[in-house]
């Protein structure tokens, strides 16, 4: 499941690209669910999509998906995980952000309750920040991670015609995220290249490619206000 660079000057772990299946999101709101499918398929914990749909019903997930929801999904399928975030619960400041405003009042209580019940539900949540090195060491062991980024800031170096702000909508429908304001989007990290200082990731907005961005751009996108620096580490030894 892991490929590493070989040849002169290449140290083990200098280059990692994991073969994570690509799953494209179907709507503008389900990028996190598409990322979860990718990870569960990579771990060989999801062979039947009906099991995934049943899990969504049991967890009562709707069109408003938070990182804590994805952590509960991993727990539901028995995937060993670790959810790192700067905020245990909902940041009340998001009430004034356009991206969160519409569902904030309805979601605040639900999300805070999920955080409160996480330990009893065997969902591992930690208030902490992680470094790029931490992420690289995780990937070097063949593990993967789902990361919340600001799609407005994330730029793929390989895509000649990128989706605007990583937004995916059926053809003919108006994109809701043309402005410069924060737009939360989930991606799956699947590798890195230390020599070029780049990060590889699967963007659920696409169905046919692995994307790449600089470590600098990745850090800017994942630490933008609105992300809480959420990262869901998932382990292959589940």
Number of residues that make up the chain: 238
Q: Is the pTM of this model over 0.85?
A: yes
- Tell me the percentage of the chain whose pLDDT exceeds 90: 70
Cβ-proximal residues to 84 (8 Å cutoff; 6+ apart), any chain:
126, 128, 129, 130, 229, 230, 231, 232, 233
Give the residues across from 149 on adjacent strands. 185
pLDDT computed for residue 160 by the predictor: 63
pLDDT computed for residue 23 by the predictor: 96
Mean pLDDT, residues 171-197: 77
pLDDT computed for residue 100 by the predictor: 74
pLDDT computed for residue 105 by the predictor: 75
Q: Which of 78, 33, 42, 24 is nearest to 191 (CA)?
A: 42
pLDDT computed for residue 170 by the predictor: 40
Mean pLDDT, residues 214-219: 98
Identify which has the larger pLDDT, 230 or 94.
230
At 94, is the secondary structure helix, strand, or coil?
helix
Strands 81-85 and 125-127, sheet pairing? parallel
Identify which has the larger pLDDT, 58 or 161.
58
Which uninterrupted H or E stretch holds 18? none
pLDDT computed for residue 179 by the predictor: 58
Tokens representing residue 35 in the block: 């990322």
Residue 238 pLDDT greater than 80, yes or no: no
Q: Rounded to the nearest 5°, which phi and psi values hold at 229? A: 55, 35
Band of the pLDDT at 73, cuts 50, 70, 90? very high
Band of the pLDDT at 9, cuts 50, 70, 90? very low
pLDDT computed for residue 176 by the predictor: 45
pLDDT computed for residue 161 by the predictor: 54
Residue 47 pLDDT greater than 90, yes or no: no
131-179 tens-digit pLDDT? 999 999 999 999 999 999 999 999 999 886 545 444 444 444 444 444 5
Mean pLDDT, residues 231-236: 98
Mean pLDDT, residues 193-219: 96
- List, in order of start, the domains of the chain with CATH numbers: 15-234 (3.90.70.10)
Mean pLDDT, residues 43-47: 93
Contact 156, 231 (CB under 8 A): no
Give exposure, 21-44, as e/b (b: 16+ Cβ within 10 Å): ebbbbeebebbbbbbbbbbbbbbe
* DSSP string for 48-76: -HHHHHHHHHHTT--S---HHHHHHHHHH
- Tell me the percentage of the chain whose pLDDT exceeds 70: 85
pLDDT computed for residue 175 by the predictor: 43
């Amino acid at each position: 499941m892991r490929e590493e660079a070989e040849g002169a000057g290449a140290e083990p772990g200098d280059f990692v690209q994991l073969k994570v299946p690509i799953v494209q999101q179907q709507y503008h709101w389900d990028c996190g669910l598409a990322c979860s499918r990718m990870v569960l398929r990579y771990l060989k914990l999801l062979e039947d999509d009906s099991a995934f749909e049943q899990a969504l019903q049991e967890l009562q997930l709707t069109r408003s998906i938070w990182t804590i929801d994805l952590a509960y999904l991993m727990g539901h399928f028995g995937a060993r995980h670790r959810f790192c975030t700067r905020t245990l619960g909902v940041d009340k400041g998001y009430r004034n952000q356009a991206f969160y405003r519409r569902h904030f009042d309805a979601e605040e209580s639900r999300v805070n309750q999920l955080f409160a019940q996480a330990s009893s539900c065997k969902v591992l949540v930690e208030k902490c920040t992680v470094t790029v090195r931490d992420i690289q060491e995780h990937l070097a062991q063949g593990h993967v991670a789902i990361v919340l980024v600001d799609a407005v800031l994330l730029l793929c170096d390989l895509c000649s015609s990128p989706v605007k702000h990583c937004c995916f909508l059926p053809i003919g429908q108006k994109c809701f995220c043309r402005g410069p304001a924060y737009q939360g989007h989930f991606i799956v990290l699947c590798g890195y290249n230390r020599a070029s200082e780049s990060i590889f990731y699967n963007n659920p907005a696409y169905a046919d490619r692995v994307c790449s961005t600089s470590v600098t751009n990745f850090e800017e996108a994942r630490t933008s206000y609105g992300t809480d620096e959420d990262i869901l580490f998932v382990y292959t030894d589940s």
